[in-house]
Amino acid sequence: MQPRIVFNTHYQVDEPAYMTILIKLCTSPVQSSYREVVAERVAREITVRGKKLNAAAGGYAVDLAQDLELTTPNNTWSEKGHLLNLISEIKEGELEDQLRLNLLEKLLYFRIFLEADGAAFLFITRRLKKYGSTANSDSTWNSWATEMFIEVYSDYLAQTANTADRVGFRRLIDRINTHGYEGNSGSHKVFLHFQTLYRLGLVARPDSAGSRAYYLPDYIPNAEKSLDIFLHEIPDILTLEKVIKTKKWIDVAAKIFQIAYNPYSADSIQNNTDKVLIQIVPHYRRIMSTGVPLCSLPTLIETIQIKLLTGESKLMSHEDAMNLIIAAQKERPKDIRFHVDRRGQPAFIKLSNDIVEQYSA
């Protein structure tokens, strides 16, 4: 069992928007690159935007992209990398403006970080609700880092019966209990998690360019309520795992970000292939234009979910989206083909040139 917490982090590489830069400017959807090459590109792109970053720190950005499953081990785009490319854009202006996330990007990064780092989010939310804030000092960050990793690994230890996992978790817990974190090592371990929550609008940081003190967002309208909703929807690790495995993240996100919406009625467009294809073809074209041989169905569905929720205030479940695409494929089997995964479930889609042209007008 893999704990949903990002471990290998760096205090300078703490902005989720850096991943947009890495994907869109420093890596390729199809061409592999060495880690050092991508690290240098990331360092250069961030430095020209006003924050000096060396190649060593850029390497942590490369590692983060892989931990978030945005890139493959060869540093090409994964399915989530394609999702980011479809949703997030490179911004102009002051660095702070480039790092600020719009609602589309908040949903995108909530989806990405919930799967990779949701256990850290849960820990921080609990602690901030209890203490209200965290002071900016090395000793504070070392304490938070120690408590966070011990609690997360202990929670996962309690949830798994796998012997190898249990031994591994116990060793990690014992090592952290024995050595803890010293100097600025805690800063390296916790800044990413706090800063991501801040960019999502769920945690307050009054001095965005200075002090690293984070607070309950009592002066951000509805934000503290969002943390209450988070804890209500995801009160523990077991629920976190269920939300991710059942692909219910969009339902949770809509509540946390307090987006007024209507359910997208699949029944109302059954047997209406046109409406389904109008939704998927534009995103399909962008994915295929990158040179990949097949289009990932999860990437396509999650793009549609985010676009519908932000653009039309409609929430489409993953199940409904898949059912609609399957129904369209049954109506036009020669134009819509599936490729299945190891379990025999549709995982990729291939559309004929005729159908792409027809629904691209």
Query: Domains of the chain, with CATH numbers?
Result: 17-238 (3.90.241), 267-358 (1.10.10)
Residue 104 and residue 88 in contact, taking contact as beta carbons nearer than 8 Å: yes
> Has this prediction a pTM greater than 0.75?
yes
- Helix ranges, the chain (H): 17-21, 35-48, 55-67, 79-87, 95-99, 103-131, 138-159, 163-179, 185-199, 223-233, 237-245, 249-256, 273-288, 297-311, 318-331, 353-358
Backbone angles phi, psi at 336, to 5 degrees: -125, 115
- Which among 239, 134, 250 has a CA at the least distance from the CA of 193? 134
Quote the Cα angle for 141-144-147, to 5°. 150
Provide block-wise average pLDDT over 10 residues at a time, the chain (361 residues). 91 95 97 97 96 94 97 98 97 92 98 98 93 86 94 95 94 92 91 96 82 76 80 96 97 95 73 82 96 96 96 93 91 94 92 91 64
Quote the Cα angle for 14-18-20, to 5°. 145
**pLDDT at position 89:** 95
Tokens of 168: 């591994």
Backbone angles phi, psi at 74, to 5 degrees: -90, 5
DSSP letter assigned to residue 272: -
Which residue shows structure tokens 């002051």?
A: 94
Tokens of 258: 């307090």
